[in-house]
Structure 1
């Protein structure tokens, strides 16, 4: 009876925190409407600067459509600068680089058939719709309970976070990546692994970094998903090579990627780069002892390798819930990168939704090294940090809190493991009978 009262009290505390998050989400909805209206007014006045990052995509799409005979123009910085100036874009202070794989430029090249501003509107509208669909899928995958208010909360956490709004404001592609990953995990949970693999394969050829997720799925022996992802990636690569030549693909992975990364890293540390490298660069500079490029590179490389190896160990040796593996894979992908831009934190919302959803699914059970109350409170802090525009290390802190919550799920109390072992034995006995 005492255990029942303790469990009920814990469940009530968890629900109070969830209700608080819902109230905050409603408040931020009103604020977001004001911000969106402000953006709308500014875009009407200046079409060239509207959805500014899409200008780089539009250049690559146009280069494929108009100059397929010379695909190297996709990554020609001088040609890019000239193109942007002709559009009326103010390029002062920008990092002038288009850094996506040629697959991305080829597949979306039809957007260049539209006038620039029309293409921006269509792109952003599609991105927002896909993000909403992805948020619904992520919520349904993360929470299997019957309380619809929890599902609404999880969707609100995604759609009202500032990285999502910022991504739409810039005309960026992280909402698309969020959808592809959320849909992949959703279909795995629905035992539709071939479709999941196709979506994951598309994500890999668009961004490359989701290879980390493929690796962790491989450790889980998700053979159908991995094979489907591999076949899809190969098919899209062969299609791109047939249209643009294999040389541009080879050059991108052997030469251009490192050049682009160096250009992006030259922009500095926090808050533009919320990675470990960016934080170290900012902190060391503020202390009057700027870290050298060699130190920054070594730190980022060692840290990235360490958390990748640690993730492999956790998934291979201590995995209990596939959904936690999805969350860990996403955070490993983000933190292992030497560049973590604020808009990349759109993907971090997926682990947060998984963590909060699974916590609310069983509020009376401790699933983590943290107590249910502490786990949800830390999750709420991570979410709240993402509700605001990035400042200094806020997104870095949010990323590390989320990562810590993911790791803690692999180290539940011994009592929980003993209960699961007993439940497993009971199921085996019932099946044998």
Structure 2
């Protein structure tokens, strides 16, 4: 052991940490300044807050809660830009759960929402790490938090005031309760809460059904049904019924905002490449192609999660986290926060992989996936496409990141499945 070498390493660490924090701070400040110039800071939360006010005023019916004229008046009064395709598109239960935030003035309420989201994000990172690593060091946790702070989806979600970071925390809690603590009821509570806030997390129930975790599926649905029934006492049932009837219409309205970079699903990417960045209507065949892709992906992910005895819990966690993003025809950049458990599960698996050559391949995929989600990559793409418009296709970076994570997890699942059982037992 060289004591001088160890001393040098300890001396370098504070410098490296200070440099990393400086770079993170500059990137975050630049991102928020850019959003501020566009008047997008708190933009999504303005729709939420307007819905909260309606619930507090006893106007939880469809005509008030989802009234475009009311939304336009509120956004105009607070200096936000108008877009005819943007609306409050969440279930009435979301506005009911968080209506207490409408008791505060808008600026203070937005600050509280951001504090809640930031706290939820930190807990989400912690729960995910505890699921994968039973014992974690404080330094490793702080490093994971710092890495999360560099991600464009996380910063964008906090800045505009969306709810994806809170959803990430609920899904992380569900994974922790189910896979580490073996408490399916706690996991079901978290999943039901996430589904009451937004419909997308219901895809997680498909993942647990594939794994035959029927206790999680049935308890989640039972708790969700009880929660809906309780909400009807305050909201009535009409607004929920109307929301269900208009759900597909909401999706079409949101999709009208255009392809990537707004929509980072495969459908958004194909639309961008088809229109060459000029916009326009979506051909029917593109929608049909995406439907076939989403269905095929469910079967592929399901097959990977059902492999036994070789498939580890980490692969199941990663693939389950990716499923809501995989099947959604609309993936905005903040939605990519939901891929964080898959990123961390991939890192955990790569560090444990016994084959060096394969480990390098998976590490390259993971580094690419993480790098494409970071703020510097977003800044670079934005600048390049502004200077050279013909590079419009670079705006598919979030989809490429998703594809890299999915590819790494599927390949690791396949590798484990092809290994002889005796060899697996030796390695384990």
8 Å CA contact retained: 1:132, 1:159 = no
Cα deviation code 1:161-191 (max 9, x no counterpart)? 1211111111111110110011110111111
Q: Give the direction of change, closer, same or farther, for the CA distance of 1:154–1:248 in structure 2 (3 Å limit).
A: same
Q: Give the direction of change, closer, same or farther, for the CA distance of 1:240–1:308 in structure 2 (3 Å limit).
A: same
Structure 1 residue aligned with 2:4? none
Q: Which SS does the other structure have where 2:200 is aligned?
A: coil
Q: Determine whether 1:199 maps to 2:190.
A: yes
The alpha-carbon deviation at position 120 of structure 1 amounts to 0.2
Q: Give the direction of change, closer, same or farther, for the CA distance of 1:28–1:57 in structure 2 (3 Å limit).
A: farther
Structure 2 residue aligned with 1:263? 253
The alpha-carbon deviation at position 379 of structure 1 amounts to 0.5
Structure 2 residue aligned with 1:248? 239
The alpha-carbon deviation at position 34 of structure 1 amounts to 2.9
Structure 1 residue aligned with 2:119? 129
In 1: Cα distance, 2:271 partner to 2:34 partner: 34
8 Å CA contact retained: 2:211, 2:305 = yes
Q: Determine whether 1:219 maps to 2:210.
A: yes
Q: Determine whether 1:29 maps to 2:21.
A: yes
Structure 2 residue aligned with 1:326? 317
In 2: Cα distance, 1:41 partner to 1:331 partner: 31
In 2: Cα distance, 1:44 partner to 1:402 partner: 31
In 2: Cα distance, 1:265 partner to 1:259 partner: 10
Q: Give the direction of change, closer, same or farther, for the CA distance of 1:45–1:342 in structure 2 (3 Å limit).
A: closer
Q: Which SS does the other structure have where 2:319 is aligned?
A: helix
Structure 2 residue aligned with 1:109? 99
Structure 1 residue aligned with 2:129? 139
8 Å CA contact retained: 1:196, 1:225 = yes
8 Å CA contact retained: 2:177, 2:187 = yes
RMSD of aligned residue pairs (Cα, Å): 3.0
Pairing 1:35-46 to 2, within 5 Å after superposition: 35-37=27-29
8 Å CA contact retained: 2:152, 2:333 = no
In 1: Cα distance, 2:307 partner to 2:62 partner: 45
Q: Give the direction of change, closer, same or farther, for the CA distance of 1:69–1:100 in structure 2 (3 Å limit).
A: closer
Q: Which SS does the other structure have where 2:414 is aligned?
A: coil
In 1: Cα distance, 2:135 partner to 2:107 partner: 43
Structure 2 residue aligned with 1:14? none
Q: Determine whether 1:393 maps to 2:384.
A: no
Within the candidate set 64, 68, 81, 1:77 is matched to 68
Q: Which one has more relative contact order, counting CA pairs under 8 Å at least 6 apart? A: 1
8 Å CA contact retained: 1:157, 1:383 = no
8 Å CA contact retained: 1:43, 1:50 = yes
In 2: Cα distance, 1:25 partner to 1:281 partner: 41
The alpha-carbon deviation at position 394 of structure 1 amounts to 0.9
Structure 1 residue aligned with 2:388? none
TM-score (norm 1): 0.83
Pairing 1:339-350 to 2, within 5 Å after superposition: 339-350=330-341
Q: Give the direction of change, closer, same or farther, for the CA distance of 1:67–1:89 in structure 2 (3 Å limit).
A: farther
8 Å CA contact retained: 2:86, 2:254 = no
The alpha-carbon deviation at position 346 of structure 1 amounts to 0.7
Q: Which SS does the other structure have where 1:371 is aligned?
A: helix
In 1: Cα distance, 2:28 partner to 2:85 partner: 25
Q: What is the total number of aligned residue pairs between the two structures?
A: 396
The alpha-carbon deviation at position 248 of structure 1 amounts to 1.3
Q: Which SS does the other structure have where 1:271 is aligned?
A: coil
Within the candidate set 247, 270, 280, 2:270 is matched to 280
Q: Determine whether 1:172 maps to 2:172.
A: no
In 1: Cα distance, 2:64 partner to 2:277 partner: 42
Q: Which SS does the other structure have where 2:43 is aligned?
A: coil
Structure 2 residue aligned with 1:98? 88
In 1: Cα distance, 2:62 partner to 2:334 partner: 28
TM-score (norm 2): 0.84
Q: Which SS does the other structure have where 1:210 is aligned?
A: helix
Structure 2 residue aligned with 1:405? 408
Q: Which SS does the other structure have where 1:272 is aligned?
A: coil
Within the candidate set 350, 363, 370, 1:376 is matched to 363
Q: Give the direction of change, closer, same or farther, for the CA distance of 1:180–1:265 in structure 2 (3 Å limit).
A: same
Q: Give the direction of change, closer, same or farther, for the CA distance of 1:37–1:151 in structure 2 (3 Å limit).
A: closer
The alpha-carbon deviation at position 410 of structure 1 amounts to 1.6
Cα deviation code 1:279-307 (max 9, x no counterpart)? 10010111999774312221221111111
In 2: Cα distance, 1:41 partner to 1:343 partner: 17
The alpha-carbon deviation at position 102 of structure 1 amounts to 0.8
In 2: Cα distance, 1:287 partner to 1:118 partner: 39
8 Å CA contact retained: 1:150, 1:357 = no
